[in-house]
Amino acid sequence: MTILLKTDPLRPDRDIIRKAAEILLQHGIVAFPTETVYGLGAVAFYEDAVKKVFIAKMRPLDNPLIIHISDLTMLHELSSNISEDVYLLAKKFWPGPLTIVLHKGPKVPRVTTGGLEKVAVRMPAHPVASLLIQETGLPIAAPSANLSGRPSPTTAQHVIEDLYGRIDAIIDAGETIYGVESTIVDLTTDPPTLLRPGPYPVEVIEETIGRRITIPDFARGLGEAEVALAPGVKYRHYAPRSKLVLVEGGEREEVARALDELLRKMPQGKSVCLALTRETLEALGVHQSLKVFVLGSRNNMYEIAHNLFKILRELDRELCDITLTEGVEEKGLGLAVMNRLRKASYLRVEVSRVKSLSFNQVPF
Ligand code: TXA
Ligand code: MG
d(CA 295, CA 327): 11
What pLDDT, on a 0 to 100 scale, did the predictor assign at position 230? 33
The burial class, CB within 10 Å (0-12 / 13-18 / 19+), for 234 is exposed
pLDDT at 231: 35
User: Does pLDDT of 146 surpass 80?
Assistant: yes
Q: Is the pLDDT of residue 238 over 60?
A: yes
Identify the nearest ligand to the CA of 60 by its number. Answer: 1
Cβ–Cβ < 8 Å for 113, 64: yes
Q: Which of 163, 208, 194 is CA-nearest to residue 56? A: 163
The answer to whether residue 240 scores a pLDDT higher than 90 is: no
Residue 136 has pLDDT above 60, yes or no: yes
Instruction: Report the range of poorest mean pLDDT among 64-78, 116-130, 223-237.
Output: 223-237
- In Å, how far are 95, 120, 292, 359 from 123, measured between CA atoms? 5, 11, 37, 46
Ligand 2 (ion): residues with CB under 5 Å are: 144
Average pLDDT of the residues in 193-219 = 96
Compute CA 101 distance to the chain's CA centroid, rounded to the nearest angstrom. 17
**CA 68/CA 122 separation, integer angstroms:** 5
Is the per-residue pLDDT at 233 higher than 50?
A: no
Which pLDDT score, from 0 to 100, does residue 361 have?
A: 65
Give the pLDDT score at 236.
59
Cα of 143 vs centre of ligand 1, distance in Å, is 6
Q: For ligand 1, atom 18, name the residue with the nearest CA.
A: 64
CB 23 within 8 A of CB 30: yes
Q: What percentage of residues in the chain have a pLDDT greater than 90? A: 87
Regarding the beta carbon of 181 and ligand 1, being less than 6 Å apart is answered yes
Average pLDDT for residues 41-52, to the nearest whole number? 98
Q: What is the pLDDT of residue 313?
A: 97
Q: Pick the closest to residue 271 from 321, 329, 340, 333 (CA basis).
A: 321
Predicted confidence at residue 225, as pLDDT, reads 38
Q: Which of the ligands is closest to the CA of residue 67? A: 1
19-40 confidence digits (pLDDT tens): 999 999 999 999 999 999 999 9
* Whether the Cβ atoms of residue 196 and residue 219 lie closer than 8 Å to each other: yes
Beta bridge partners of 119: 102
| Digit-coded pLDDT (tens) for 157-183 | 999 999 999 999 999 999 999 999 999
35 in ligand 1 pocket by Cβ < 6 Å?
no
Which amino acid would we find at residue 327?
Answer: G
| Mean of the per-residue pLDDT values of the chain | 93
Rounded CA-CA distance 35/244 in Å is 27
In three-state secondary structure terms, 10 is coil
Give the integer Cα–Cα distance in Å for 343 and 353: 20
d(CA 287, CA 19): 50
Note the pTM of the prediction, 2 decimals.
Answer: 0.95
